[in-house]
Amino acid sequence: MAGDAVKFAVDLHIHSCLSPCADESMTPNNIVNMAYIKGLDFIAITDHNSAENCEAVMKCSFDKDVIVIPGMEIETQEEVHLVALFKSLKDVLKMQDYVYSAMNNMENREDIFGSQLVMDENDEIIYNNKKLLITATNLTIEEAFNKTMELNGIIVPAHLDRSSNSLISNLGVVPQDLPIKYIEFSKKCNNEVFLKEHEYLRKYKYYNSSDAHYLGDILEREVFLDLDEKSIDQLFEKMRY
């Protein structure tokens, strides 16, 4: 029946080979092909403090039935990880400029952290990003939220169940004044057990993400959002605060 919601399979937290902690097999084509094989409808590319591989992954999806959401995983001044999602490449790159301007000019130690590969849609290396991406920026949580919303994006607090780099682990609580509709739990989180420990989180909608750093970590068809149609506009309408 027209207008009935349909369940679409999502994985909204995936790292590419731009993230130094991700495997070099996380190339644009490999990510899209794995998502396609696993039957995912939407994926989000969310590298640490950067969106430089979003364009290539989006181009790879043009002949696949997978919609790629451009995004990034921002590490705030408080060392909290926030997944920022955007409707367009233009907007995520504006956010990248803002995040880059708030980063310390530290160079990546590839021998310690790993390479940070920027690729084209053919999985050819364009260059190795020399910024240290896997670090806290000088942005406060509030600044990250405000700028993302200014660019019509959405922020989802990342892996709330983790013992590091989450709002709960670092602040002890999810601040009630933040404009949050959805929260994210890790792939292996027992959601009900965690929610019993933090009853106030039931006010939010939630989903699990893979936070994939390896191809095999990308979710199967196991996490779903109910949407009227398969489009970025519908997904943002569903998730927007």
pLDDT in tens, 12-58: 999 999 999 999 999 999 999 999 999 999 999 999 999 999 999 99
pLDDT of 1 over the 80 cut: no
Q: What phi and psi, each to the nearest 5 degrees, are found at residue 105?
A: -80, 60
pLDDT at 72: 98
Burial 180-215 (b: 16+ CB within 10 A, else e): bebbbbbbebeeeebbeeeeebeebebbbbbbbbeb
The rounded distance, in Å, linking the Cα atoms of 105 and 143 is 20
Take residue 113 and report the two structure tokens written for it. Answer: 């952290």
Q: What phi and psi, each to the nearest 5 degrees, are found at residue 44?
A: -125, 135
Percent of the chain at pLDDT exceeding 70 = 99
Q: Residues 119-160: pLDDT tens digits?
A: 999 999 999 999 999 999 999 999 999 999 999 999 999 999
Query: Under 8 Å CB-to-CB from 1, ≥6 apart: which residues?
Result: none
| Cβ atoms of residues 235 and 42 within 8 Å | yes
- Find the range with the poorest average confidence among 104-113, 132-141, 184-193, 218-227: 104-113
pLDDT at 3: 61
pLDDT at 112: 93
Nearest Cα neighbor of 43 from 11, 19, 84 is: 11
Query: Under 8 Å CB-to-CB from 83, ≥6 apart: which residues?
Result: 12, 13, 44, 46, 71, 72, 73, 74, 155, 156, 157, 158, 184, 209
Provide the pairing of β-strand 42-48 with 67-75. Answer: parallel
